[in-house]
Amino acid sequence: MVTDFEVRAAEAGEFDAVRAVFSAAMMFELTPDDDLARQLFEPERTLVAVDGGEFIGTTLALTRNLSVPGSVVPAAHVTGVGVRATHRRRGVLSQLMGKQLREVPEAIAVLWASEPAIYGRFGYGAAAWGTAYEVDLHRVGPPTGPIRPGELGQLTPDEALKELPRILGLMQQVRAGVSDRSELRWQKHLEDKPDDRGGRTALRIVVHRDETGSVDGYAIWRGKMVWNPTGPAYEVHVEELVAPEPTAYRVLWQHLLTMDLSAKLGYGYAAIDEPLQQLVSTPTALDRRVTESLWLRVTDVPRALQQRQYAVPVDVVLDVTDDLIEANTGRFRLTASESSVKCERTDDPADLTVSVGALGAVYLGGRPLAEFAPTGRITEHTAGALARATAAFGWPTAPVSLEVF
């Protein structure tokens, strides 16, 4: 064990040192200056492990909101987790993560994991599962239907900065798991540095307009020119498609799936229940690969359970186990009706014992609570309580996370 290192909040001037640790751990080259990333740096929400003056580990908690069933709430967006290879497996991450999870003011924390094996031990659960598509455009059978002249248009990044945040906000009302973006974060999202294009074109931002001319959906994509001996086989790479309104959704996908010269389309952020599967004639041509996307950690049980909505009324006493956060352990009564939700500590006997990791996994309504019973992470003490709680924690649409942060 490394025992003589210090874990503390970063200081304003330590952006470069923090970035150097993370880039070394993740094996990517630093770009010379990244002005927007520097402006987005939140030193007081960044923890560093320092050993004799050397930075050996980091973790960041970004200040952002996340949609959860029936609401949009603050969620610590954890990223930048890295420990120098020379100091691995000596407890550095454990110290950083323990301090971070005990101290963040938000009732939940979320992250995308580089490797799924890392975060379960810290009480995170895989709360949203995403689907990556690699679409065979010759086979897929795209959606069909009329497209009015003027219904589709293209925006510059500056124009997009004015229109897109509103659409993302509407999307947060439709699906859990969607993170908001501040103006600065939107600028970073649309920054489009040539080095980040991976051999593809610059960003193209296509929008759908409703009959009044108002933007109600958008797609951000890039193309890649590919010529085979037999002819063109271009690739369309969709980076984001947000269209909560059904016509906008259909028309945008119709547009992208019928792009001239193209043979393949890639999209990495589809939901498990992505409606596109119902709109194409050959869903198998979407070639779907399912992976965990958003991991979620409940850091304050009563506050977290009280700030989401439930699919059906419920009254259940949960006995929560949590090895890391003492205040989370014990019995809590969750009472939810159509008009109110309450979660309070209680001395009443437990209906269910549940690990904090299982609570995180079901928090966004993407996994059934009952799935965890055979794993030992949930025990039923009152007959029928598991079925009732499973129905309440579920949600009609699956959560989706639209970006790796």
Ligand X SMILES: CC(=O)SCCNC(=O)CCNC(=O)[C@H](O)C(C)(C)COP(=O)(O)OP(=O)(O)OC[C@H]1O[C@@H](n2cnc3c(N)ncnc32)[C@H](O)[C@@H]1OP(=O)(O)O
**Which residues of this protein are in contact with ligand X, per CB under 6 A?**
25-26, 78-83, 88-94, 111, 113-115, 117-118, 121
Cβ partners under 8 Å of residue 96, min gap 6: 7, 47, 49, 57, 58, 59, 81, 83
Catalytic residue, from 22, 119, 122, 218: name it.
119
Q: Is 401 annotated as a binding residue?
A: no
In the block, which residue shows the tokens 């259940």? 316
Residue 23 annotated as lining a ligand binding site? no
The yes-or-no answer on residue 119 being catalytic is: yes
365 is in an annotated binding site: no
* Euclidean distance between CA atoms 270 and 274, whole angstroms: 6
CB nearer to ligand X: give 12 or 27: 27
Any known ligand binding at 92? yes
Q: How far is the CB of 49 from ligand X (least distance, A)?
A: 8
Catalytic site residue from 269, 332, 363, 405: 405
Which CB, 117 or 383, lies closer to ligand X? Answer: 117
Pick the closer one to ligand X by CB: 98 or 153. Answer: 98
Separation CA 269–CA 273 (nearest Å): 12
Q: How far is the CB of 3 from ligand X (least distance, A)?
A: 12
Question: Taking the complex as a whole, how short is the minimal distance between the CB of residue 63 and ligand X, in angstroms?
Answer: 16
What distance in Å separates the CA atoms of residue 347 and residue 334, rounded to the nearest whole number?
13
Q: Is 5 helix (H, G, I), strand (E, B) or coil?
A: coil
Pick the closer one to ligand X by CB: 56 or 257: 56
Judge whether 91 is annotated as a binding position.
yes
Cβ atoms of 396 and 311 within 8 Å: the answer is: yes
How near is the Cβ of 134 to ligand X at its closest, in Å? Answer: 24
CB 116 to ligand X: min, Å: 9
In what helix (H) or strand (E) does residue 165 lie, and over which residues does it extend? Answer: helix 157-174
Closest C-alpha among 113, 127, 120, 176 to residue 369 = 127
Output 10 or 318, the one with its CB closest to ligand X.
10
Alpha carbon separation from 173 to 65, 221, 397 (Å, rounded): 12, 24, 11
How many helices (H) and strands (E) the chain has is answered by 10, 21
Q: Are the beta carbons of 17 and 168 closer than 8 angstroms?
A: no
**Concatenated DSSP letters of 57-110:** EEEEEEEEEEEETTEEEEEEEEEEEEE-GGGTTSSHHHHHHHHHHHH-SSSEEE
Q: Are residues 178 and 172 in contact, defined by beta-carbon separation less than 8 angstroms?
A: yes
Q: Is 83 annotated as a binding residue?
A: yes
Kindly tell me which of 121 and 166 has the beta carbon lying closer to ligand X: 121
249 part of the active site: no
Cβ-contact 195, 31 below 8 angstroms: yes
Distance between CA 182 and CA 74 in Å, rounded? 13
Residue 204 labeled ligand binder: no
Residue 84 CB, nearest distance to ligand X (Å)? 7
**Is 89 known as a binding-site position?**
yes
Q: Which residues carry out catalysis?
A: 119, 405
Binding residues for acetyl-CoA: 81-83, 89-94, 114-115
Q: Which residues are annotated as a binding site?
A: 81-83, 89-94, 114-115
